[in-house]
Amino acid sequence: MHPINSALVDNILFSWYIIFNYIYKIINIMSSFAILAPQDSVLSKYIRTINAIPILDKNTEQILAINWFEKKCIKSAHNLIKSHLKLVVKIARSFSFCGLPIMDLISEGNLGLMMAIKKFNPYKGFRLSTYAMWWIKASIYKYIIESWSLVKIGTTLTQKKLFYNLSKIKNKILDKPNNLNHGLNNDDVKIISKKIGASSLIDVKSTINRLANPDQSINIQINNDSGLEVADILHDTAKNQEELYIEEEEMIHKKKLLNQAILCLNAREKNILLSRHLASQPVTLSELAKKYSISCERVRQIESATIKKIKTMLQKSTNSLDIITN
């Protein structure tokens, strides 16, 4: 038997994913142009299509899975994918509380299904649906986290546990509505923290607040009468162009005065000042002492006297005493 090219298999599997998403996009475009009947939504059209696909019995599924596992039979993989599309829809619907488009969740679940079929070993003794459901959920979880907010969430283990299980905990343990926006008190937070094994209540509170307050556009209108948007009343803390221009002009003036003062120094004073204060890597007193054959204390004295001389010259040109900070 010829060795299987894994890259080729990946491309083939992904091509099936592209085909299913392409079909979904065609249906969506048709719906937008009213080619479909008004009551015929994209989701209902998709569900009717996959409901027409028969469910495989255990023996048929085993044969197809072995053909794919051993021979990489694309037709067998195709039949396995089609027969489990209803499973993806069922799982995707359980994530409807997240507020994301159901067809997007289904699309991501289909990708998880294909990854499951790629890695499924029919000789382990269990059905494909048992194995595939974990890949489908993982793919949908990943999509939800990436789509929930422009600000990245779910970066720590505690945050991921909370993101995945908050709705379930609130509904079953706390007996509260299955809604991320429902408020929680401190006792609720403690119960959730204990349930998911979180060590920090602050981390749990922070994640709950972020989940309960998703991103909102600053272009939302405050009310219909005024026509004002949130962006219209936001205060800009950045400096305006006038302030930036004044600061730039002041800095140019200070540099000019400093350069003029440095020109009045002799060669040794200038070198010590530049080496000690204006170099990217300041030179030590001992290195300068060795260079000029004098003591380190004498170098320090020259340095101090040079700085004093610079300040005196600057005072004659301006009343600004903060030109040199050191």
Asked whether residue 140 carries a pLDDT value surpassing 70, the answer given is yes
Asked whether residue 217 carries a pLDDT value surpassing 80, the answer given is no
DSSP 3-state of 206: helix
Write the pLDDT tens digit of every residue in 109-137: 999 999 999 999 999 988 999 999 999 99
Closest Cα to residue 268, out of 308, 295, 306, 312? 306
Can you give the pLDDT at residue 237?
75
Q: Check: CB of residue 68 under 8 Å from CB of residue 77.
A: yes
State the average pLDDT over residues 134-150.
Answer: 79
Residues whose CB falls within 8 Å of the CB of residue 309, separated by 6 or more in sequence, listed in order: 264, 265, 269
227: left (phi over 0), alpha (psi -120 to 50) or beta: left
Looking at residue 318, its amino acid is: T
Taking CA atoms, 58 is separated from 66, 75, 198, 257, in Å, by 12, 18, 42, 88
State the average pLDDT over residues 248-252.
Answer: 87
pLDDT top residue among 83 and 164: 83
pTM over 0.75: no
Asked whether residue 190 carries a pLDDT value surpassing 80, the answer given is no
Joined tokens for residue 202? 């602050």
Write the pLDDT tens digit of every residue in 16-27: 555 555 445 444
Asked whether residue 325 carries a pLDDT value surpassing 50, the answer given is no
